[in-house]
Amino acid sequence: MRLFVALDLPQEVKVRLAAMAGGIPGVRWVPPENYHLTLRFIGEVPGHMAEEVDLALAHIRAKPFELSLAGLGTFEKGGRVQSLHVVAERTPGLAHLQAKIETALQRAGLPPERKKFAPHVTIARTDGAALPKLAGFVQAHNLFRTEPLTVEHFVLFSSRLGKEQAVYTPEVEYALAA
Ligand code: ATP
Ligand code: MG
């Protein structure tokens, strides 16, 4: 199974993100049902490891926290803009949960994540984008922000890669409690 740990987003936030999408030729917009904030990408693991992952995540104790999305950003690789995202504020509560997940998954036997945590919600894959249009989009929408939303659970998703879009399935939800 291909797995990742993420925050799901409230429907009203998905609706606002979807309303912003559009207007850049050559990009692939993420379908609204696929919006999420990745806390930890796990990748392909055998069934027994998926069980270890679930056990490790189920033992995490963390409190609900506030999350705000504010502004847009892009990720680049080899001089190409690969994706467009909405930035999530790196609040203490979010950083704390991410760190707990990282520790738990390493204890369960996964290799450490090397990349620094940069919380974001991808809204488009931009490999084929017209760059001036992309820059214009970022400028036009850079004031996007959400009211703080309370995060009360995190989710283990499985991912099936398709020709068009990946299909994500929520496998297990883990509650945060005060
Ligand atoms: P596709 O790969 O077909 O574009 P996808 O990226 O939406 O689809 P996955 O590759 O399964 O689907 O990724 C699931 C989530 O994990 C996405 O948020 C993705 O950005 C993130 N992710 C994927 N690979 C990595 C990685 N190597 N490091 C960190 N995060 C990753
Ligand atoms: Mg991918």
CATH number at residue 44: 3.90.1140.10
State the catalytic residue, choosing from 48, 120, 141, 153.
120
User: Is 36 an annotated catalytic residue?
Assistant: yes
Domain residues for 143? 2-175
Distance CA 154, CA 132 (A): 36
What number does the ligand 1 atom closest to the CA of 165 have?
Answer: 3
Q: Work out how many domains the chain is built from and give that number.
A: 1
What number does the ligand 1 atom closest to the CA of 2 have?
Answer: 11
Mean pLDDT of 87-106: 97
Q: How confident is the model at residue 34 (pLDDT cuts 50, 70, 90)?
A: very high
| Contact 83 CB / ligand 1 (< 6 Å) | no
Report pLDDT for 145.
Answer: 97
Report pLDDT for 162.
Answer: 85
Report pLDDT for 139.
Answer: 96
Distance CA 150, CA 7 (A): 11
Distance CA 176, CA 61 (A): 7
Task: Give the model confidence (pLDDT) of 47-94 as tens digits.
Answer: 999 999 999 999 999 999 999 999 999 999 988 999 999 999 999 999
Between the CA of 3 and the centroid of ligand 1 the distance, in Å, is: 9
Distance CA 152, CA 62 (A): 10
164: pLDDT strictly greater than 90: no
